[in-house]
Amino acid sequence: MERNQARPTGHACIATYLGTLDNSPGVYRMLDAQAQVLYVGKARNLKKRVASYAKATGHSARIARMIRETASMMFLTTQTETEALLLEQNLIKQLKPRYNVLLRDDKSFPNILVAKDHRFAQIRKHRGAKTTKGGYYGPFANAGAVNRTLNQLQKVFLLRNCSDAVFESRTRPCLLYQIKRCSAPCVGKISEADYARLVRDAERFLQGKSTRIQEQLAAEMAEASEAMEFERAAALRDRIRALTQVQSAQGINPRGVAEADVIALHMDGGQACVQVFFIRANQNWGNRDYYPRTGAGADEAEVLQAFLGQFYDNKQPPRLVLLSHDIEDRALMEGALREKAGHKVTISIPQRGEKAELVAGAARNARESLGRKLSETAAQGRLLADLGRAFGLDAAPRRIEVYDNSHIQGSHAVGAMIVAGPEGFLKSQYRKFNIKGADLTPGDDFAMMKEMLTRRFKRLLKENPDRQGDAWPDLLLIDGGAGQVSAVAGILAELGVSDIAMVGVAKGIDRDAGKEEFHRPGGRPFALRHNDPVLYFVQRLRDEAHRFAIGAHRQKRARSLSATPLDEVPGVGATRKRALLTHFGSAKAVSRAGLADLKAVEGISDSMAETIYGFFHEKG
């Protein structure tokens, strides 16, 4: 059931709902006078939980502020409290309420894939759905951790990392064979049976059975030395050294913890850092730090509880989760994670032994990371304040949007927007704009900028007309001089947006960095002194926008270069496209093929062959 009516605010508003609630578990939402969601919570007993908010005393300062702002509530009942917990975390991620703890960085983690869809297995980094046949090992904390491990594994196990197409086209060994990183199965330097043995050893290592592998390699090296096969013995010695380097590079390698996520929290000054270490196969597969928004004053138990629910929303939980602090509903969270994982999940707060040492190490990292973050944030705050003064703003900007575009003589045109604020570059809020204007003159930067800004601010006006939160910028930085600034001001005026500061950044004399001129609407151009930190900051912002625009342009151009007429044929997806190209060799050959030839392609039905033939026949 749901309720969302105009009511008095605060305790009186909340009390009016008590007569409509029963003792069911469920999720509740607290909304302000503008119907913006303030808070999402779950309850074992909705009536009791709402009754606690209706009391005038006994609340923390944070909860008291939230209650005062509450003008209405909404409710969803569930069958179980576990279902309520899962629903609560989904709604928090979707609605991002002001008073909830929110995990802001929620990227997926890479894995190592030993792909077995070829007779000579390939080892590579993998991210995303696990659709390829093979063994998946992870998660690793980041791409760097995967790349380091892959680099060392290649030294030890000599497995190929080239694509199947490259593998099939080789006529002689590549450089990796020369530097002893690959056994060159592509040209028959190793038998299929011996290569399969290397694959088994690599997988045993990734499963935590490295001691046995080292013993086996040592025995083989001794045999080779006795047989005076010194070159083979030296190669085995190098593999043993590489294996040792892998283990030492991983740092922590717990003997008594085969699989766990080690999660530690440190809070200071209203800010929080959560460090997550991934222990798999008795090995440390990297760590990552997170800075959740703390919901205007949540305590450690609430922060960690919310973090776990949101962190494992789209990730597979391990069998053991080690925490630095206890959470509010440990048994409930274990049940929710067990339901998601399909196996028992234990949440533990260790007090002694190796597990406690792992948590202490993660907590130390969290404390040090938060210290660095707070220091960087303070420095960024001073820069923004200086920027505001330099550009004559009323206050330090909290959201700066920088726009740029990239093209080659008007082709593959892409616009780019980057965002910066008190926490530095906000990469999750960067945006790319495929320039769509069919009547644009190639290379018309003014028209491209107009299309980009029109689309950006029309969307803002539609989705957030009241300018709630930090979605609207305080300052626009435009790459260009007085002409560009005047054009942008005109674009925004047409949309009815005239109160956002904007500055054009022109290269100045000889287009030298350091001699930039700055332009404000209706004002004279001005410059900053050569060694002014604000100047360096603006240069970084402009360079980041240019980098992002260039990257977006290259991606678009690369996609167009790899496109073929087959992409336009109805019903031809990646699998059929691959079958056709393998059979005929090129898209042009497919377009010229007869109907009988098309029907002979494996995976192409008679009706699909007729569709393909008709498509190219009509095109011709």
What are the DSSP calls for 7-49, one per residue?
Answer: ---THHHHHTTGGG--S--EEEEEE-TT--EEEEEEESSHHHH
Q: What percent of the chain has pLDDT over 70?
A: 90
pTM comes to 0.71
Any idea how long the chain is?
620
Beta carbons within 10 angstroms of residue 557's beta carbon: 16
Is pLDDT at 423 greater than 90 in this prediction? no
Is pLDDT at 242 greater than 70 in this prediction? no
Higher pLDDT, 380 or 578: 380
Beta carbons within 10 angstroms of residue 291's beta carbon: 17
The pLDDT of residue 444 is 67
The pLDDT of residue 363 is 95
The mean pLDDT of 142-152, rounded to a whole number, is 84
The H or E element containing residue 146 is helix 143-157
pLDDT band for position 508 (cuts 50, 70, 90): low
For helices 353-390 and 533-562, give the axis angle rounded to 10 degrees: 110
The mean pLDDT of 386-393, rounded to a whole number, is 92
The mean pLDDT of 411-422, rounded to a whole number, is 84
Is pLDDT at 475 greater than 70 in this prediction? yes
pLDDT band for position 157 (cuts 50, 70, 90): confident
The pLDDT of residue 303 is 93
pLDDT band for position 588 (cuts 50, 70, 90): confident
Q: For 112-129, how does the pLDDT look when each residue is reduced to its tens digit (9 = 90+)? A: 999 998 999 999 999 888
Is pLDDT at 619 greater than 50 in this prediction? no
pLDDT band for position 563 (cuts 50, 70, 90): low
**Cis bond leading into 139, ω under 30°?**
yes
Is pLDDT at 204 greater than 90 in this prediction? no
Highest mean pLDDT out of 140-149, 172-181, 522-531: 172-181
What domains does the chain contain, in order, with CATH numbers?
11-99 (3.40.1440.10), 111-249 (no CATH), 259-371 (3.30.420.340), 400-560 (3.30.420.340), 565-619 (1.10.150.20)
Can you read off the two tokens belonging to residue 445?
Answer: 């930067």
Residue 228: CB partners within 8 Å, gap ≥ 6? Answer: none
pLDDT band for position 620 (cuts 50, 70, 90): very low
The mean pLDDT of 486-496, rounded to a whole number, is 88
For helices 81-95 and 300-311, give the axis angle rounded to 10 degrees: 90
Q: What is d(CA 45, CA 330) in angstroms, rounded to the nearest whole number?
A: 17
Higher pLDDT, 449 or 307: 307
The pLDDT of residue 7 is 62
Q: What is d(CA 27, CA 37) in angstroms, rounded to the nearest whole number?
A: 13
Q: What is d(CA 516, CA 542) in angstroms, rounded to the nearest whole number?
A: 11
Q: What percent of the chain has pLDDT over 90?
A: 39
What is the CA angle 412-414-418, rounded to 5? Answer: 160
Q: What is d(CA 344, CA 338) in angstroms, rounded to the nearest whole number?
A: 5
pLDDT band for position 23 (cuts 50, 70, 90): very high
In order of 165, 280, 309, the CA distances from 259 in angstroms are 36, 4, 19
Is pLDDT at 79 greater than 50 in this prediction? yes
Higher pLDDT, 446 or 133: 133
The pLDDT of residue 412 is 64
The pLDDT of residue 558 is 63
Strand partners, 280: 259, 283
Q: What is d(CA 448, CA 401) in angstroms, rounded to the nearest whole number?
A: 16
The pLDDT of residue 410 is 47
Mean pLDDT value across the chain: 85
- Among 10-14, 250-254, 615-619, name the one with the lowest average pLDDT: 250-254
Strand partners, 415: 405, 433
The pLDDT of residue 284 is 85
Q: What is d(CA 381, CA 375) in angstroms, rounded to the nearest whole number?
A: 10
pLDDT band for position 4 (cuts 50, 70, 90): very low
